[in-house]
Amino acid sequence: MLLVSFVLLFCQQPAQDFEDGLVLARQNFLESLASTGLASRASSLSVIVDGDGPPQSYRFEAKDGRLYVRASDKLGALWAVEELAERVVQEGEKLWRSPVVERQPFMQHRGYALWLQADPDWLAEDSFWNSLRDQMLRGRYSQLEWVLDGRNDPSGWSAWMVPMGDSSMRALQAGQRIQHLRRRLQQFRAAGLEVGLRLVPPLGESPFLIQGWLQDLPGLSFLGIDGWPDPKEAAGQETMAALLQSCQRQGVAYCLHPSDLETSRVRAWAGSSVDFRLQIDFADGSLGLPFPSASSSFWWGRWMATAAEATPARLWPGRPSSTQAWPSQPYRLFWRVPVGGSPRRLPAVHPNWIRQAIQSMAVGTCSGLVLNPGPPRWTQAGADGESPWFHRRDPASFALWGRLAFQPDFEFEPVLDRTLGQAVAPWSSALQAGSQVAQVAASVFGLFPGFRGEFTALPEPESWLASPPRENFVFRSPMMEMAVQATGGHDGRQGMVDLARFFGQALQRSKKLPLAKWRQDSAIRDQRMWTYAAASRLLTLWGSYLQAACRSASSLTSLQAFPELASSHGPHAWAAAERSLERWETLCSGRLVSEFPSLGESLDEAGGEAGGWKAGLPQVKAALAEVRERLGPTAKAQGRILGGRAAVPPRGQLQWQADGADLMVRYAGPEVDAAWLLEKALPATFWTKTAMEPVQGDFRIRFPRKEEGHLLAVEVRHQGVIKRFPVWTDAQPFVIVPALDRPAPIQPSLAGALGKLAAAEAGNFEAPLPRWLLVGPQAREFWRAAPETHAAVFAWVEAGAQLLILDPTPAGGGEVWAWPASQSGGLKSYAATKELPFLPEVPSFPESSKLIAEGSDSPWQILGDGAVARRRIGKGTVFWVRLPFERHLHRPGLAAHLLAWLQRSQESPWLILDPGLVSDGRPNPLLPDFLNAHHIPFQSLPAWWVEQLRSSTSRN
């Protein structure tokens, strides 16, 4: 349907006849023509806005010596002209002979969050709002989100929110502020941008104050109120109903908070005709790896279900629930991307990293992102006059997120260099490499730069060598690396040597900065680039510290696993540990502060010029002391850092296609002699590994397609080396098979799965009962489960199942902790009380090696050297193994001992009742990773429940 139609002939119409955004596009296009000697082409452009096609889309073609643009709306027209201005510079006269180009946004909604304050000096400043509007249009943003946070900024809330009828000076000032917002709302809407409001009210806030904003700011596109009101109270339900009615009357979308969907209110909203938005924080969005963790659940799916349903159905847009039908587009899912936006906070300015992040966000039903730099008080301006506002402080990152969310395949690298200028082109490459150092450090070690720019040191080796990386699908711990190597397993993830090599490659790029030349160039010293150069230099030093620490960790763990390597690896561990201390001491020396004076203002003055780094010096020294103690003084004499070149993995293609109700997956790569598929459902936590069959020169596998979607990856063996594909530095480390357009069972959490087990009886399942049950180290969810859960497990054991309990002792030794149903106050020692919900007592392990005979009074038999207890129950058996697998799996003999136990299943899959937790509360991947490395089949309890629901549904 034709909405608006007009032709813009830029050289024939006066600028004042056009709206501000189109004026910008006209100026850029004419300047590009002039810079390339094509000013005579100024009259050869026609632009028509006809309303056809998706929002913000456009199409242009060259014909008969002219350029013709058709756009669906004014934003599409503006961005079409902007792209032509860019292409004029790149292609010159060839542009008038180019083929047809069609564009529509990859992410329909691209927003920027601007935080409101008590006394914003920028509120009435035209230059602030004009620059923000212009940069949003150039960056291809489509909406502005105002944020008012009454919980973290009570003074700001009270400055804007005043009771009705209040005639005080505060009320007058609040009214003036809202008038300014109303004016800016009209300004941004005139430019084609949506404007919305997100409120975080203090607890107990009056609903009338909040609802008044809809009347005071007509034209808002969306309104969000985090965690309000309380749906459990009748008054809250009435308030919410009235608010939704107001939104519906004014055509305002309502922005949900994720916690809202965990309540019963979602049912009441399902039948309303309000357009909902759901915003979820993108974890580690400015640091970490550029994709939702491949080693955990794509968690938003569980928010789309009503837990009270007997057979929960996913509620994606336009798909029915079991009792009510949602509107055709009930909500739009948005990622909130936290960005530091300051070189002191190390922004993510690597275009390929941002491309991967944006493409990952599009999984599921995500339709947009909101760039969220946070309130400006978190990054106040320094004495050098740096602006506290993100769009002014870091225009490069601002432009990257918006443009790549619109068009991920856009080649931003040349534009970035042109934006920064040829004089500082090396900075672009250096800071891109440095930003990857920060991202990998966050994803592997959980190290994040502080708010003032200081970095974090690794703890003592003993506390992190055995810890699984935060992104353990891509990386593996030194302990797991040695354990798999000692037992002949296959694990294609990257280890410490790979990480050290990665840091080294990034640092080679960072070292190319011409700092000496820049220091003498007053023009550069006066630009923001000098501060960026400081950030790059800091990242270089921090990365070199991490590189040395990784090499030291690899050598030290190898020595623990293989003591016979002491003479060859000991010196390398010593030299690398010495290098890590040397690099950290350079950070603490104050030399960088003298080179870049602005850095001193961003650090903690209480600790001196480099106080933020000095705080980590004891940890670095402790790590060196531990290496020295383990190796002895003889290793120092011949110490040198272990090098080595990386094996170049062959790049292949992992492809899938639907074949009826199945998926056919194919991998084709050069000189590959074996391949294994890694697969998990989108909501699942753990991956499973299955051998692929060689067929006509490639490898294939077929399996049933799941409604909830899949993630796929592959491990290949090439010349004896195991590698995992896709490679995370090239693309996402997985291939996405999207969910089907029909309801799917929701995978419960581990606690939910254990609760379901308590409500069921073993005889209710038509599928064969699991024969091999596994409880991992630190399995707190299992031990704190209800007695009915343990009774169900007990029934399985009586029916013939084998239950293996691994090392239930807390880290550091001590008693066996659990959570009896009779205790509501906290953890209780079963070893002291001798009571279990499903066992009369725990085994009493001897302090010295001894064997208890069959005729002993205890129902437990202590086997071997006293570390294993066995008890027969009905037709089944319980094995209790008390060995320190969690922290010392790489020690000689422990990995082989665990493998011998796990191989007892003889191709029958293990059912992992609880894998245990690591120190930060994440599921422990130790057992799934070790099982996968040795091709031993398993299922987690939540995934097993999904299959039970799927089987039940298919039978019915």
In this structure, the answer to whether residues 255 and 276 fall within a common structural domain is yes
**Of the ranges 298-312, 386-400, 689-703, the best mean pLDDT one:** 689-703
CATH value at residue 229:
3.20.20.70
Instruction: Number of helices (H) and strands (E) in the chain: give both, helices first.
Output: 32, 30
| Last residue of one domain, picked from the residues 405, 420, 435 | 420
Asked if the bond preceding 229 is cis, omega within 30° of 0, the reply is: yes
In this structure, the answer to whether residues 152 and 198 fall within a common structural domain is yes
Q: Which domain holds residue 436?
A: 425-635
Nearest Cα neighbor of 477 from 460, 498, 456 is: 498
Tens-place pLDDT, residues 128-165? 898 899 889 989 999 999 988 887 777 778 778 776 66
Q: How confident is the model at residue 704 (pLDDT cuts 50, 70, 90)?
A: very high
In this structure, the answer to whether residues 585 and 661 fall within a common structural domain is no
Residues 6+ apart with CB under 8 A from 893: none
Q: Concatenated DSSP letters for 719-761?
A: TTEEEEES-TTTS-SSEEEPPPSS--BPPPPHHHHHHHHHHS-
CATH value at residue 72:
3.30.379.10
Q: What angle do CA 516, 522, 527 make, to 5 degrees?
A: 95
Assess contact for 46 and 68: CB atoms under 8 A. Answer: yes
Report how far residue 377's alpha carbon sits from residue 276's, in angstroms, rounded to the nearest whole number: 30
**Of the ranges 249-258, 508-517, 769-778, the best mean pLDDT one:** 769-778
| Average pLDDT estimate for 317-336 | 48
| Last residue of one domain, picked from the residues 51, 72, 103 | 103
Tell me whether residue 811 is in a domain.
Answer: yes
**Of the ranges 21-25, 308-312, 384-388, the best mean pLDDT one:** 21-25
Tens-place pLDDT, residues 579-589? 888 878 777 77
Specify the amino acid at residue 122: W
Nearest Cα neighbor of 140 from 25, 280, 269, 50 is: 25
β-bridge pairing 817-818 and 828-829: antiparallel
| Last residue of one domain, picked from the residues 737, 770, 795 | 737
In this structure, the answer to whether residues 455 and 536 fall within a common structural domain is yes
Would the pLDDT of 254 be above 90? no
- The domain total for the chain is 5
In this structure, the answer to whether residues 569 and 707 fall within a common structural domain is no
CATH value at residue 666:
2.60.40.10
Tell me whether residue 31 is in a domain.
Answer: yes
Tell me whether residue 300 is in a domain.
Answer: yes
| Average pLDDT estimate for 53-79 | 91
β-bridge pairing 688-691 and 194-200: unpaired
In this structure, the answer to whether residues 679 and 761 fall within a common structural domain is no
In this structure, the answer to whether residues 586 and 723 fall within a common structural domain is no
Burial class (CB in 10 A: 0-12, 13-18, 19+), 630: middle
Asked if the bond preceding 459 is cis, omega within 30° of 0, the reply is: no
Report how far residue 956's alpha carbon sits from residue 948's, in angstroms, rounded to the nearest whole number: 12
In this structure, the answer to whether residues 690 and 715 fall within a common structural domain is yes
In this structure, the answer to whether residues 192 and 287 fall within a common structural domain is yes
Tens-place pLDDT, residues 86-96? 888 888 889 99
Average pLDDT of every residue of the chain: 73
Tell me whether residue 218 is in a domain.
Answer: yes
Q: Tell me if residue 389 falls in helix, strand or coil.
A: coil
Q: Concatenated DSSP letters for 79-117?
A: HHHHHHHHHHHHHGGGGGG---EEE--SSSEEEEEEE--
Tell me whether residue 645 is in a domain.
Answer: no
Report how far residue 12's alpha carbon sits from residue 617's, in angstroms, rounded to the nearest whole number: 67
Residues 6+ apart with CB under 8 A from 482: 557, 558, 560, 561, 562, 890, 895
Q: How is residue 816 written in tokens?
A: 């066996």
Query: Does 712 or 124 have the greater pLDDT score?
Result: 712
Report how far residue 709's alpha carbon sits from residue 298's, in angstroms, rounded to the nearest whole number: 10
Which DSSP helix (H) or strand (E) runs through 337? strand 331-338
Tell me whether residue 342 is in a domain.
Answer: yes
Specify the amino acid at residue 692: M
| Average pLDDT estimate for 636-658 | 63
Query: Does 330 or 37 have the greater pLDDT score?
Result: 37
pLDDT of the residue at 19: 56
Report how far residue 904's alpha carbon sits from residue 804's, in angstroms, rounded to the nearest whole number: 11
